[in-house]
Chains A and B, each alone.
Chain A
Amino acid sequence: NPDLTNERASGTFDTNAMAAVIYGSEKFAQRRREITEAISKIPEFQDSHPLVFMSREEKISEACRKLAVLSNYWNSLIDTSDEEEALHLYREVLGLEGHPLALHETMFIPSLIAQASDEQQEKWLGRAQRREIIGCYAQTEMGHGTNLRALETTATFDISTREFILNSPTITSLKWWPGALGKSANWSIVIANLIIKEHNYGPHPFMVQLRDEKSHEPLPGITVGDIGPKMAFNGADNGFLGFKNYRIPRENMLMRHSKVTSDGSYIKPPHAKIGYSSMVKVRSRMAMDQGLFLASALVIAVRYSAVRRQGYLEDKSREVKVLDYQTQQHRLFPSIARAYAFIFCGFETIRLYDQLLIDVQNGNTSGMADLHALTSGLKSVVTYQTGEGIEQARMACGGHGYSMASYISEYYGVAIAGCTYEGENMVMLLQLARYLVKS
């Protein structure tokens, strides 16, 4: 399209150099391009039909088909030890509507890294990274959301057998929402109240097998299934999960921080909020991911605004690009600035998180409160403003923005899910407020 070509010719900088700034290094920006190029040459990675025309089951099946193809190319396409390359590969091939390994990569593996002891990592991390098992992270309960203090699921230590007995005592205690929990995952990290000798030590993480590794049938004592369609993310089988006297070995409590010894003694973590570290990690990533959701909607809206012509300014011989209207610029450019700001801010916060992990391992937890409070606010502000920005991008595309051909509504639906997952925004803002007041 000549209009877009002219726009590109008027740019004053090299977009590859800017991509290096956006993605943190020239090396990674280059790797992204190489991976994208390599993927484009593999026909099986193309959508077999536009996703928006598919049913949920078709979307999940399509994602599974691509994951199977992906397993053949995985090692040749990316450096498998590089999390960013893996995420880029997933985004390219599987898109954003969800897939059976979504939480496996973003929650399950990072939680094993942050919360499993060295011996536990030896046992499970390699299997997870090789995708011999599919995991998810089950914390949220139907009646309690992210309110950790109200969780009802229990893990009661039986000293005689040295096992934990998992129970979901009520309907409201069913785990509800975790991605891939419904039909795909065969293992999960489950957050349950640790009970030893009738004393409740509060929520702790446990590694729990949900399904038989050969037949994929749910194990006795496990109730598991899909929670139904959602506003977006319909390629994911978000699930429910309940336990009835389900026994797991003592060694399945994740024990990098808190521990339970075989005689039932409880060893406290070095910092009260240490168990929140995976939340801090996810919320740190969210700023960057949300920045990219906003960026995607803006790529659509800005390009289309340079193609779409409507009305006249001074020159009456040809309709004007809608991008030349001040109102359109005011609608889109501050959001471009925010998208850049969110991505840069995400980088900085992830750097702080990585530093925090090193500090915690050396016994220094002083930065935890600052960062935990900040990331609560960060996910709230960024998800809200991303939703606002995507909605402006949709309206900037006129009527066609409302068509699924724009795909903006999918970006909107996926982005605003972040307003409630990993902590509902108002609750998160009040969490930060508590820290500000104390300061």
Chain B
Amino acid sequence: IEMIQNGKSRELGPMVAYLAEKESEIDLNLGPNEYLKVFEYAARNQTWRATEKFQKLRNSGMSNEKAWNQASVELTRASRLHTRLYIMSTFINHVGSIVDQKVKGVLIDLLNVHVTYEVMDIGIYVQGLLSSNQMDLIRNQLYVSLETIRPNAVSLVDSFQISDMQLRSVLGRRDGNVYENLFKWAKSSPLNKTDVLPSVTQYLKPMMDK
């Protein structure tokens, strides 16, 4: 922000260049890149807000360290939004580069879940940019995306190809035979080596016999 304020926007690193950009119209019907613009708006506004708070405190005579501490919650919010913007941006770019059309199709569905959920999640930061109608549209789009993903849910997690050996989970077994194995697992508990624990004989039994 300080570079922008000093007229050095052209020297910004590529990951922070959006901080100097102007707001543009959002048309959510145009796809994930429009959601990215919403995130850019949120990250940019929050970064400016946090910086201005810090600068105002400093200009009021507060020390640099104290002003930084007083603005730190706002500053960490800016950092989170900047990072989430990067994650969303790489997700969109990666999906765009996939060749296999069936895989790409389901990842676009998943991307739609992501962008709608993420924008809903930062609703407070986009007040002023999006109308309540647009927020409703996003909310409804999220529910539609959940339904679209549903038939592929198991295949999407199977695709991680994490073996049963690695997963070490009775509940997550690939064959789905959960209940019989849950019982088998419980029986292998060291507590089940004997029917009567020494602690019962040593402490509980004498207590009960009193």
Hey, which bits of chain A sit against chain B, CB under 8 A?
A: 1, 3-5, 7-8, 10-15, 17-19, 21-22, 29, 32-33, 36, 39-40, 45-47, 49-51, 53, 91-93, 95, 292, 295-296, 298-304, 306-308, 323-324, 326, 329-330, 332-334, 336-342, 344-345, 347-349, 367, 369-370, 374, 376-378, 380-382, 397, 400-401, 403, 405-408, 410, 426, 428-430, 432-433, 435-439
Contacts and interface: CB of A to CB of B under 8 A. Distances in A.
A330 B153 contact: no
Interface string B116-149: 0100000000000000000000000001011101
A356 to B, nearest CB: 12
B91 A32 contact: no
A214 B176 CA distance: 48
B114 A337 contact: yes
A5 B158 CA distance: 12
A303 B172 contact: yes
B190 A13 contact: no
A338 B114 contact: yes
Contacts of A21: 98, 100, 103, 107
Given A307-B178, A341-B90, A429-B75, A439 B16 contact: yes
A58 to B, nearest CB: 11
Nearest to B175: A1
B163 A40 contact: yes
Given A295-B157, A303-B154, A381 B19 contact: no
A323 B147 CA distance: 11
B168 A95 contact: yes
25 contacts: A4-B175, A14-B100, A18-B159, A21-B107, A22-B159, A40-B163, A45-B165, A50-B168, A91-B166, A296-B162, A303-B171, A303-B176, A323-B150, A330-B146, A345-B86, A367-B13, A377-B82, A377-B86, A378-B83, A378-B86, A381-B87, A382-B83, A382-B87, A400-B171, A436-B50
Given A344-B94, A439-B3, 9 more contacts: A15-B158, A18-B156, A50-B188, A296-B172, A302-B157, A330-B146, A340-B156, A370-B15, A436-B51
B169 A92 contact: no
B90 A369 contact: no
Nearest to B80: A381
A345 B90 contact: yes
Contacts of A299: 157-158, 160, 162, 167, 169, 172
Nearest to B88: A341
Given A302-B154, A334-B114, A430-B79, A32 B161 contact: yes
A323 B176 CA distance: 14
B160 A50 contact: no
B27 interface: no
A163 to B, nearest CB: 38
A224 to B, nearest CB: 30
A335 B12 CA distance: 33
Contacts, number: 295
Nearest to A13: B102
B176 A333 contact: no
B72 A437 contact: no
Contact of B47 (A95, A323, A410, A436): A436
Contacts of B107: 21, 340
A307 B145 CA distance: 22
Contacts of B91: 337, 340-341, 344-345
A377 B159 contact: no
Most chain-A Cβ atoms within 10 A of its Cβ — which of B94, B143, B156?
Answer: B156
Contacts of B114: 334, 337-338, 340-341
Contacts of B84: 381
B168 A51 contact: yes
A349 B91 CA distance: 12
Interface in B23-60: 47, 50-51, 54
Contact of A304 (B12, B156, B159, B178): B178
B4 interface: yes
A339 B111 CA distance: 11
